[in-house]
Amino acid sequence: LLDSTTATRFLLTSRVPCGLLDEVRVVVGPLSPAASDGPAVQLLVDCVARFGVTDVDRARAREICQELDGLPLAIELAAAQLRHLSLEDLAVRLDRRFDLLVDPQHDRHPSLTAVLDSTWSSISGDERELLCQLAASPSPLALDDLIEIMDVPEHRTIAVLGRLVDCSLLTRPVRPDGTYAMLETVREYARKDDVDRAHERRDRLADWCLERVGSEIVAHSFDFGLVRWCRTHEAVLDSSEAHLTTDRPRDAALLVSAQGLTLHVDDGSRAANVLGRLDRHLDSVDDPGLRARLHITGTFGAMAVRNPSLMASHAEAAVREARRAGDPAALSIGLVLESWSFIRHPVQAIALVTEAAQVANSSDDGRSFDLAEGYRAWHLAMMRHYDQAIEVAREVLERSPVDAGYDTACAVAALASCLAPNDPATALEVFDRHLAGSDFAAMMANRLLLASIHAASGKVVPSTRIITSTCRRLESAGQHAFPDALVPVALLAAALGDEQRARFYVSAVRRSDRRTQSLQITCLYQQLRSRFSDADDTSHDSSNSDDVAVEAL
């Protein structure tokens, strides 16, 4: 027909591209199951109407359509079951979808299994191998992940991925993380076909995670690149940890210990999840070096969930176990973290970070030394020795590259906090040069620090936008940002010339039942208190912190 006609067009549907000359491919995805009045639910409603069923709970139908990935065939086969099952009975049995979704009266595709069997038989062994390995992962993986896991030449992995996308067994990456996802129906089919190798698949994933996080405590405590990897692979890490816990408890504990800094920059939800499992790992390992690392992770996590007593107990235990192990890196880091519990007692805190610096220096550990010095700057600021704190922080920055990790970032935050109230322009320059775009900058304390820098410059829009978004993010994690969020509000009021309102918010922080939750905000608050020494004489009633928070927002 193409040879004997002109301007002829054909509309074809196929599970795989036809590969014809000049064909234009239009990907037809599943129906959207997102809304109760959307196309997936409407298809289900229309199909069951043919069987005389007219009373359909659309909210429950939407959940069923979501579980079925919005696949039209799966929805039609499910609708056929509603001749004799309720929506509830169908929904609770979808984990056995391949046994359930059968309709001999369907003219072309009598079962979901039959369709997938046909597709499965058409793909090669290499394609099945990669698909089954991806199905073993609890979350989508990116190209680089799959290249590392499969351990075959890169070009082969890329070619296999292309064929699987063509067969609609994987979706082409459209998200910024570049991950390849599969429909849950395809995942369940692949796992069902590969059940004999399920343990081997999970071993491979776990070994990949272990190789990726490594065993170096310096990387675990300072490397923001590792933080980013852990944050994008949370589900894989959790699954691998659970898989290793019984047979390889040491490896499981190592996976947890590698996530210390990741928890520190968390908003609290992830940290709470890991902290809930930490004691089990501490009970399963005897090695004091590994126990010290687990306690370091516990200290980081306790800081993220704002639990001072838990933070103190983990930090003390980390130092104790590190001394037993003779591990200078763990000891130096543990001493710094223990100093967190002495924020209100800076002389003791200085003693701890001084010992940490000595331990790091004696073992030629420059990064741990800079971490200790960065926190010495913090504790000097807590003693109101701001000029000395600025000097110490600048010395750390002179030794370290711009793109360094947590060791340098701490000194940057200390420097910016000391500068912000009186020299916000320099504070912003320091923040932008060293922290902008980093995971450390995304922490609640550093978000509010950035808001404070803008506020001290009188920049209303950026400061209030950051304050509001930070409060909402913490609320979604089951926490709140008060009284910390009142400090940048006070700075903004002062910068705009409203000293009475600035005093009001400073007084509100002073009278709050809860102390400020970070070094950054405490440092800023102290400087505001010094400026408004009569803040407690405010004419406003600031005894109700909830009312103050509402007015501030």
Q: What is the mean pLDDT of residues 423-449?
A: 92
Which pair of structure tokens corresponds to residue 203? 């071993």
Please tell me whether residue 543 adopts helix, strand or coil conformation.
Answer: coil
Q: What angle do CA 372, 438, 308 make, to 5 degrees?
A: 50
| Helices 143-150, 198-213: crossing angle, 10 deg rounding | 110
Tell me how far apart the alpha carbons of residues 452 and 431 are, in angstroms, rounded to a whole number: 12
Average pLDDT of the segment spanning 131-156: 94
Cross-strand partners of 141: 180
Q: Is 112 helix (H, G, I), strand (E, B) or coil?
A: helix
Cα–Cα distance, 337 to 390 (Å, whole number): 21
User: Beta-carbon neighbour count of residue 32 at 10 Å?
Assistant: 13
Instruction: Using DSSP, state whether 111 is helix, strand or coil.
Output: strand
Q: CA 84 to CA 90: how far, in whole Å?
A: 10
Give the DSSP letter string of 134-149. Answer: HHTSSS-EEHHHHHHH
Q: Which of 55-64, 174-183, 223-232, 392-401 has the lowest mean pLDDT?
A: 174-183
What percent of the chain clears pLDDT 90, i.e. is strictly above it?
A: 71
- CB-based burial label for 187 (10 Å; 0-12, 13-18, 19+): buried
pLDDT confidence of residue 118: 87
Contact 72, 65 (CB under 8 A): no
Structure tokens given for 500: 């009475």
Q: Which amino acid does the sequence have at 167?
A: C
User: Residue 171, SS3?
Assistant: strand
How would residue 523 be classed by pLDDT, with cut points 50, 70 and 90? Answer: very high
Q: Which residues touch 461 (CB under 8 Å, ≥6 apart)?
A: none
Query: What was the pLDDT predicted at 106?
Result: 67
| 8 A C-beta contact, residue 218 and residue 260 | no
**Torsion of the alpha carbons at 532, 536, 539 and 542, rounded to the nearest 10:** 110
Q: What is the pLDDT at residue 535?
A: 54
Whether 464 shows a pLDDT value over 60: the answer reads yes
Mean pLDDT rounded to a whole number for the chain? 91
Provide the 10 A C-beta neighbour count for residue 82: 19
* pLDDT exceeds cutoff 80 at 545: no
Q: What share of the chain is helix, strand, coil (3-state, %, to 5)?
A: 70, 0, 30
Q: Which two tokens stand for residue 146?
A: 């799959």
C-alpha to C-alpha distances, 205 to 148, 149, 245, nearest whole angstrom: 10, 7, 14
Q: Which two tokens stand for residue 145?
A: 């992940």
pLDDT at 335 over 70: yes
**Contact status, residue 196 vs residue 185, Cβ threshold 8 Å:** no
- What pLDDT was estimated at residue 540? 42
Name the helix (H) or strand (E) containing 180.
Answer: strand 179-180
The whole-number pLDDT of residue 74 equals 92
Residue with tokens 């922490």: 443
- Report pLDDT digits (tens) over 253-294: 999 999 999 999 988 889 999 999 999 999 999 999 999 999
Whether 123 contacts 163, CB under 8 Å: yes
CA dihedral 225, 228, 229, 235 (to 10 degrees): 160
Q: What is the pTM of this model?
A: 0.87
**pLDDT for the residue 534:** 62
Closest by alpha carbon to 169, among 196, 129, 202? 129
Provide CB contacts within 8 A for 257, sequence distance 6+: 217, 220, 290, 293, 294, 296, 297
Helix (H) or strand (E) holding 154, with range, is helix 154-166
